[in-house]
Amino acid sequence: MRIEGVLLVLLASCGGTDAPAADAPRAYPFGPFTIHASEEISDQCVQITLHNDDVMYVNQVELETGPGFHHSNWFFVPASDQDTGVLGPFDGPDGTFTCRDRGFDQAVAALKGGVIFAQSTQSPHDIQKFPAGAVIQVPAHSKLVSTIHLLNTSDATLTLNPTITLTPILEQNVAIKLAGVSFEDHALGLPPNKNSSFTVDCDLQPQWDILHANGTVSSATPDFKLYYALAHYHALGTGMSIDAVAADDSTASSIYATEAQVGDALGGTLDPPFSMTGFSHLRFTCDYYNSTSNPVGWGINDQEMCVFLAFSDSAYNWAGGALDDDPPGPGTEVGNVMTYSHACSVYAVEQSTH
């Protein structure tokens, strides 16, 4: 299957059809995808070359998919240059491809470029919009790459023709440049027929101390702001909370929380943005009710996930969590809820701007 990036051209009042304005929305259809009844596809990726000769300052991303498009994570990375022969990551033609055939890896994509968008679970229409002047800076000559997870729970075959649309703003209107924040808890083990809660507390200070010692950040403690947050869990998830925690007295403040069900938009703009000043920990908790008679761990299909994505004005992509598929360990029953906690690894990687 091949795709072609299509620019959504805004015609000038004089009727001209030259190149679109620098702040015109740019729509990129991809697919189509045919998903048979009860079929699940989780090994496919998508590539879309943006053909952008200049930097794009993206303020909004919109994804229209339809039922059966379970989830997708989108990154920007350098495109291959046919004139110079320089190959970008995951080189190959635009379109849908088997992820392992090009060695696609989300961590590598974030390192070589950056996160640009993540879809709410099974949401057929998502809009990720930042405040005025806040953007993700996509370097010239970039491409989008994404994992896609398709799941048709219906009895009928589905055919999808998705479109992802990037809306940039003019450089002179840029006030804030954003980078990704992504943390995951793989140490899941939902007990059967029971409510459960899984918490990971991530201390950013040790990584921040390294950056401060290197002179790449000026303050002694984290001082960036968060502008957008998104939760990701599957059908057994009942909610997620993300908190900032102070190192000195463990005072906590809520950053974002959701109790929405799968299929609803699980992301939102933080208005006002949340300042990490005075806090050194990010703590996130996923809540579940396992209505089945079997334990449920990390994974796809009938398994679960606990992931949050955010965007901050830090010059660094922050990532980590409990990244090994370990058992959750012994839990503590609080009321009628089994609660678990797990250690957190934290990484800071400079956001790519060229």
Tell me the mean pLDDT in the region 49-66: 95
Task: Decide if 26-176 and 178-350 have a common fold.
Answer: yes
Residue 352 clears pLDDT 80, i.e. is over it: no
Domain residue ranges in the chain: 26-176, 178-350
pLDDT (tens digit per residue) in 91-110: 999 999 999 999 999 888 88
Q: How far is CA 66 from CA 229, 230, 249, 263, in A?
A: 22, 19, 46, 11
Q: Is 132 exposed, middle or buried (0-12, 13-18, 19+ CB in 10 A)?
A: exposed
Q: What is the architecture, at CATH level 2, of domain 26-176?
A: Sandwich (2.60)
The CATH code that applies to domain 178-350 is 2.60.120.230
3-class SS at 173? Answer: helix
Q: In which band, very low, low, confident or very high, does the pLDDT at 19 lie, cut at 50, 70 and 90?
A: low
Residue 5 clears pLDDT 60, i.e. is over it: no
pLDDT (tens digit per residue) in 30-41: 999 999 999 999
Q: In which band, very low, low, confident or very high, does the pLDDT at 122 lie, cut at 50, 70 and 90?
A: confident
First and final C-alpha spacing in the chain: 30
Give residue 6's pLDDT.
37
